Structure 1
Amino acid sequence: EKEGNYCPLCFSVAVPTHQLIQTELSQEGSVTWRTYHMYINIAGGYILSIFVVFLFFLMIGSSAFSNWWLGYWLDQGSGMGYRTHNNETPCQTSDILVNPKQPIYQLVCVASVMAVIIFTIMKGFVFTNTTLMASSTLHDWVFEKILKSPMNFSDTTPTGRLMNRFSKDMDELDVRLPFHAENFLQQFSMVLSIVVILEAVFPAILFVLAGLAFIFYVLLRIFHKGIQELKSSRSPWFSHITSSMQGLGIIHAYNKKEQFISKFKILNDENSSHLLYFSCALRGFALRADILMNLVTFIVAALVALSFSSIGASSEGLSLTSIIQLSGLLQVYVRTDTETQAKFTSVELLREYILTCIPESTDPFRSVSYYQMKYRKNTPLVLSGLNLNIQSEHTIGIVGRTGSGESSLGMALFQLVEPTAGTIFIDDVGICTIGLEDLRTKLSVIPQDPVLFITKLPEKLQAEVTVNGENFSVGERQLLCMARVLLRNSKIVLLAEATASMDSKTDALVQSTIKEAFKGFTVLTITHCLNRVLNCDHVLVMDSEKIKKVVEFDLPEVLVEKPDSAFATLLTAEKEV
């Protein structure tokens, strides 16, 4: 994706199909037309894009016309029809100045220069706004798609890939793609204008240019085919850095520094080596292009020298200078064309995210009971056979051994994972039939490990939240979540080990607050401390077998009195410990 598209050392490590994170598929071949089509549409459509290209042609065409007009002015001489013995017009300053049409020539020359200035300003303004609109629209589109993606997208997508998309690839769209695209359009317009001028002043050269175009096209195809084989991705490099920073303590604890440093060097070499190979490929193409253009320049010079009186001296000079200028422009044109295609690889990668990031569904399910859920399509069920009714304003204690599916039930309530079958009803309204924002704004949660965003707390607290709330302990973060729940006044509250990181005194105070402040609320308490659910209205016991399901749902005193109940067994085991 950048100039980082050229790396022959990049390799793909095969991973098992059942592995959570799969290797990112690299793009093969040239950029597809669908990618250009999408970029043109988000840049304002085909009409605006054609207008932008037309401005480039007008700007370069005006400059080329001024050069041709100066040659034409010189050919007119004094305008008296005087010719030398070999039918050439003398190019003396005095003769040109006495030409009766001199004011017209001067006016056209000044007008062409003014046209260049005006079209340059218009081109810069329109092109800048068009590319800025395209990059901004594409960024917002991808960002919205990712935000609305289900939880399994976060589980299967490394942070490094997202960092690569929103840092490197977006930088390509904001800075490098407009720069190289502008150069490409400008060089293409200049090449086209030179060809038109050569055909106008010296038609015989058209046959030479036709042969040049064919040979150059063959070289260009070979060059592009080789360049497309040198693509690589920076995502593994970003992922390795991110995972290393997050697990720095573990790396030091297990003395794995050398392995991580070695892997970093390998990935860094893969990301850097593309510059060498790209430069070698470009130099190889430049050598062949120079040989070709030197040959063409010699042929054109010979034709001009042998043309005798067929064209004027100024036209001969314009032909020679144009063909020499064309030899340099073709190399710059090829480089800018290659660079522009490389930058469009970033657009293609972002387009893949737009197509593959499927937002969470809000379509209703036919089944109204027997709730089932799995985290991904190729994984087993984590919830099965949930069919229960919770009364309003009741407190429900949800218990079970580790891995029984209590947390999965909380994720199902917030619809963080799509159900495989069935649905959850709140006041006879299926949560799958309403918008996710409408659902989640009516619920509140106090998680076991809260994440706080950067914000300034009320003045009485005299504190400010830093990144991830790291200036607060986990217990303090849970207390802040508790205060937020009280202020939101949500009627359904999920407590997921809400006091697990608090001391016993604070825990007792919070439990008392829950009893008093959450009266009239429906409270679902997920905990492994069974004593906390003895005062709940009902206890829900989850099974820890292969398929997680409800094994018991009753009053706590009823379950305690049954010695063979799963809840009584858990309570006895906790007391023994």
Structure 2
Amino acid sequence: MAKADPKSRDVKSLRPFLKLLKETRPPYGLLVLAITLSVISTLVSLVIPMFTKGLVDGFALSSISGLQIAGIAGAFIAQTIAAGVSVYLLNYAGQKMVAGLRERLWRKLLLLPVSYYNDSRTGESVSRMTNDTGIIKTLVSEHAASLFTGLISIVGSVSVLFYLNWKMTLVLFTVLPLSALILVPLGRMMYRISKGMQDETASFTANLSGVLSEIRLVKASGAEEREYESGRASIGRLLAFGIREGKVGAWISPLVSLVFMMLLVVIIGYGGMQVSSGALTAGELVAFILYLIQIVMPLTQLTTFFTQIQKAMGASERIMETLDHQEEHYEGKEAEDGGNLPITLANVVFGYKSEEPVLRDVSCEIRPGEVTAIVGPSGGGKTTLFGLLERFYEPLAGSIALGGTSINDFSLSSWRGSIGYVSQESPLLAGTVAENLTYGLDREISPEEMKRAAAMAYADAFIEELPNGYNTDVGERGVKLSGGQRQRIAIARALLRDPKILMLDEATSSLDSKSEAVVQKALSNLMRGRTTLVIAHRLSTVVNADQILFMEKGKITGRGKHEELLREHELYREFALQQLQVAGPDDAAGSDAAELDKREEDTGHGQNSGSGRRSAHPRVGGRLFEG
């Protein structure tokens, strides 16, 4: 198979970078002004050796006119001012560009679907935001002008050298092509190394973020040594890339110095002979050497520029991969009647990978104002079903509709705004209790309204006992609060949202009996008058549900009330026998019911479970939902 042309490969690698620059909309006016000033500074520097030539050839202070001195001084001042202003403007333009790029990337990261984060580690996204954008900023603010000024300096110097002495100038071209043959391959090597280092840096950042965010798990598992070795290995790989980068850099700098010294020796030796023969003046030789410096120094800058642009190309590829990823679709009409219309799932198929379905032909109706419980073995697809209802994912086949209208026709903000979600983890952000209670709300919440919601969630008592009350910092991910306290704050937050549809995902499964009893009371307040979906492993919390869906292996294999499933669904009956110690479907023995009542009184499981519309202590066996 024919190898790709290196030039075409370089152009292809440059396209993402150029596209990114164009889409970032840099301040072109400032860039043009900054580069123009750099060019002016370079042009002035091309004139200075000619003044020096006249000075050396005159070789007497009496021959130097005041105009010459003023001209030299003016040239130096103009060059200094132009260069200084250019550096500032380039840095300003670079900072503006990277700020705009980070803003655009941050917006993109927030609009990307949940499926993107299933396949991408958080630390890699952080690396895109910080390291990769920083590389592009460095290129624009520190190296962009060197491309134009370097080329002008080289072309201008070579042109003047041809004017001064074309024979000596031709001698230069015996050395410069040789140096290019060496430096260009080194630049390509630097590109590959930089790309690998950026990948490894992103991976290392991802590992750091993951470990430090779960430091309690690390310590509880005694995994400090394991994580140390893993981090040490990543640091070692970064070190290897850094050493390789250093080796390439170690070749580039000495080679440039070698080229310069070779040229200097050749020019001084050959020029000295020209001066002694009278073919060249001493001033011309000095000017020749100064112009030589103005060729070699830009060559060094251009080498650094091409090294940096190789890094920027690698960074641009990764940033563009993120920016080109499909966003969530936010447009649509308002979902105004979410609590008054049924939610219908018809033949829904979904898998995180298309070839591995998690949900298979799921069909059901969630009736408005009622409690629908979803139970079944772990891995059956219950939480995945919630993810589809929240539109974190799109079904591969089938449809989900609200009152006959596909939920995809509603705007994401209005659809998710009509849903209150309380999960087992009850995630909180670093900040105060008040900030977490009002998180995501687009309206002002008065202190009285906040306290009223906290009271309904049975959270007001413990909040007021905190050192600063509602202004107490909860720590990263809410670590300063207990599980029950986090759960009640999540419930209060849902109450403030006033959702039409309520989704509870194992909301009490990780709590002790005392906390569960309080949270169950809070949930009863939250569920009142709302369409409610409940995922539960413990049947004691959902036996009062209006409808129970039994899911296993991605399918709904049973539906109905508790007594119906107890009678007709073998696996549900097995679950009930294990958890509730109930009698069989044909045995209405009251002793088992009494035993269950006593068990619920001891554990607190029976307090305010279900929708709050029926007895907290369901009778199982022959007389269900009595009270």
TM-score by length of structure 2 reads 0.73
Counterpart-to-counterpart distance in 2, 1:457 and 1:450: 13
For residue 346 of structure 1, the aligned residue among 304, 315, 328 is: 315
Deviation (angstroms), 1:332 = 5.1
Deviation (angstroms), 1:71 = 3.7
Any idea what SS the aligned residue of 2:580 has? helix
* Alpha carbons of structure 1 residues 150 and 572: separation in structure 2 relative to 1, 3 Å: same
For residue 119 of structure 2, the aligned residue among 153, 156, 166 is: 156
Counterpart-to-counterpart distance in 1, 2:522 and 2:228: 51
Whether the 8 Å contact between 1:66 and 1:109 is mirrored in structure 2 is yes
Name the residue aligned to 2:93. 130
Counterpart-to-counterpart distance in 1, 2:221 and 2:143: 47
Equivalent AA in structure 1 for residue 480 of structure 2? N
Equivalent AA in structure 2 for residue 444 of structure 1? G
- 1:36 maps onto 2:17 in alignment: yes
Counterpart-to-counterpart distance in 1, 2:206 and 2:108: 21
* Alpha carbons of structure 1 residues 288 and 465: separation in structure 2 relative to 1, 3 Å: closer
Name the residue aligned to 1:319. 288
Equivalent AA in structure 1 for residue 64 of structure 2? I
Counterpart-to-counterpart distance in 2, 1:242 and 1:30: 35
Name the residue aligned to 1:481. 490
Deviation (angstroms), 1:338 = 1.9
Q: Deviations over 1:507-553 (max 9, x none)?
A: 344434444453321111111222322322222222x13xx122233
Equivalent AA in structure 2 for residue 573 of structure 1? Q
Q: Deviations over 1:153-186 (max 9, x none)?
A: 2222234423433343344345576335456666
- 1:435 maps onto 2:411 in alignment: yes
Deviation (angstroms), 1:569 = 4.2
Name the residue aligned to 1:6. none
* Alpha carbons of structure 1 residues 429 and 55: separation in structure 2 relative to 1, 3 Å: farther
Deviation (angstroms), 1:470 = 0.5
Deviation (angstroms), 1:217 = 1.8
Name the residue aligned to 1:11. none
Name the residue aligned to 2:617. none
Any idea what SS the aligned residue of 2:396 has? strand
Deviation (angstroms), 1:490 = 1.0
Whether the 8 Å contact between 2:426 and 2:490 is mirrored in structure 1 is yes
* Alpha carbons of structure 1 residues 262 and 390: separation in structure 2 relative to 1, 3 Å: closer
* Alpha carbons of structure 1 residues 278 and 206: separation in structure 2 relative to 1, 3 Å: same
Name the residue aligned to 1:377. 354
Deviation (angstroms), 1:442 = 1.9
Q: Deviations over 1:110-162 (max 9, x none)?
A: 55345324423441343123211221222223323332223232222234423
* Alpha carbons of structure 1 residues 427 and 382: separation in structure 2 relative to 1, 3 Å: same
For residue 260 of structure 2, the aligned residue among 293, 298, 301 is: 293
Counterpart-to-counterpart distance in 1, 2:517 and 2:249: 72
Q: Deviations over 1:326-353 (max 9, x none)?
A: 4455445424532443344323322232
Name the residue aligned to 1:83. none
Percent of aligned pairs sharing the same letter: 19
Name the residue aligned to 2:559. 553
Any idea what SS the aligned residue of 2:486 has? helix
Whether the 8 Å contact between 2:168 and 2:271 is mirrored in structure 1 is no
* Alpha carbons of structure 1 residues 226 and 403: separation in structure 2 relative to 1, 3 Å: closer
Name the residue aligned to 1:94. 62
| Counterparts of residues 37-76 of structure 1 (less than 5 Å) | 37-41=18-22, 42=24, 44=26, 49=31, 52-69=34-51, 71-72=53-54, 74=55
- 1:284 maps onto 2:251 in alignment: yes
Counterpart-to-counterpart distance in 1, 2:27 and 2:12: 19
Q: Which stretch shifts more, 529-538 or 323-332?
A: 323-332
- 1:574 maps onto 2:576 in alignment: no
Q: Which stretch shifts more, 310-319 or 468-477?
A: 310-319
For residue 142 of structure 1, the aligned residue among 105, 116, 123 is: 105
For residue 157 of structure 2, the aligned residue among 189, 194, 212 is: 194
Name the residue aligned to 1:14. none
For residue 393 of structure 1, the aligned residue among 349, 354, 369 is: 369
| Counterparts of residues 221-370 of structure 1 (less than 5 Å) | 221-231=184-194, 232=196, 233-245=200-212, 260-305=227-272, 306=274, 312-324=281-293, 326-327=295-296, 330-331=299-300, 333-355=302-324, 357-361=325-329, 369-370=346-347
Counterpart-to-counterpart distance in 2, 1:469 and 1:115: 59
* Alpha carbons of structure 1 residues 537 and 250: separation in structure 2 relative to 1, 3 Å: closer
Equivalent AA in structure 1 for residue 404 of structure 2? D
> How much is the aligned-residue C-alpha RMSD, in angstroms?
3.5
Counterpart-to-counterpart distance in 2, 1:208 and 1:481: 79
Deviation (angstroms), 1:278 = 3.2
Unaligned runs of 5+ in 1: 1-27, 76-88
Q: Deviations over 1:2-45 (max 9, x none)?
A: xxxxxxxxxxxxxxxxxxxxxxxxxx979811133124312527
Greater length-normalized contact order (CA 8 Å, ≥ 6 residues apart): 1
Any idea what SS the aligned residue of 2:392 has? coil
Counterpart-to-counterpart distance in 2, 1:528 and 1:382: 19
* Alpha carbons of structure 1 residues 439 and 211: separation in structure 2 relative to 1, 3 Å: farther
Counterpart-to-counterpart distance in 1, 2:558 and 2:427: 32
| Counterparts of residues 205-220 of structure 1 (less than 5 Å) | 205-220=168-183
* Alpha carbons of structure 1 residues 50 and 193: separation in structure 2 relative to 1, 3 Å: same
Any idea what SS the aligned residue of 1:234 has? helix
Equivalent AA in structure 1 for residue 171 of structure 2? V
* Alpha carbons of structure 1 residues 517 and 564: separation in structure 2 relative to 1, 3 Å: closer
Counterpart-to-counterpart distance in 2, 1:499 and 1:445: 13
Any idea what SS the aligned residue of 1:387 has? strand
For residue 516 of structure 2, the aligned residue among 507, 525, 533 is: 507
For residue 525 of structure 1, the aligned residue among 514, 518, 534 is: 534
Counterpart-to-counterpart distance in 2, 1:549 and 1:206: 82
Whether the 8 Å contact between 2:420 and 2:502 is mirrored in structure 1 is yes
* Alpha carbons of structure 1 residues 408 and 64: separation in structure 2 relative to 1, 3 Å: same
Counterpart-to-counterpart distance in 2, 1:456 and 1:419: 37
Name the residue aligned to 2:609. none
Q: Which stretch shifts more, 491-500 or 526-535?
A: 526-535
Any idea what SS the aligned residue of 1:179 has? helix
TM-score by length of structure 1 reads 0.79
Equivalent AA in structure 1 for residue 288 of structure 2? S
Equivalent AA in structure 2 for residue 354 of structure 1? L
Equivalent AA in structure 2 for residue 135 of structure 1? V
Equivalent AA in structure 2 for residue 450 of structure 1? S
Counterpart-to-counterpart distance in 2, 1:516 and 1:36: 55
Aligned residues: 523
* Alpha carbons of structure 1 residues 43 and 119: separation in structure 2 relative to 1, 3 Å: farther
Any idea what SS the aligned residue of 2:533 has? strand
Counterpart-to-counterpart distance in 2, 1:56 and 1:240: 43
Whether the 8 Å contact between 1:31 and 1:344 is mirrored in structure 2 is no
Deviation (angstroms), 1:425 = 1.6
Q: Deviations over 1:229-269 (max 9, x none)?
A: 53522234334444554666766777766555444444322
Counterpart-to-counterpart distance in 2, 1:398 and 1:132: 52
Deviation (angstroms), 1:575 = 2.4
Deviation (angstroms), 1:476 = 0.8
Name the residue aligned to 2:474. 465
Counterpart-to-counterpart distance in 2, 1:346 and 1:296: 36
Equivalent AA in structure 1 for residue 580 of structure 2? K
| Counterparts of residues 413-428 of structure 1 (less than 5 Å) | 413-428=389-404
Deviation (angstroms), 1:441 = 1.8
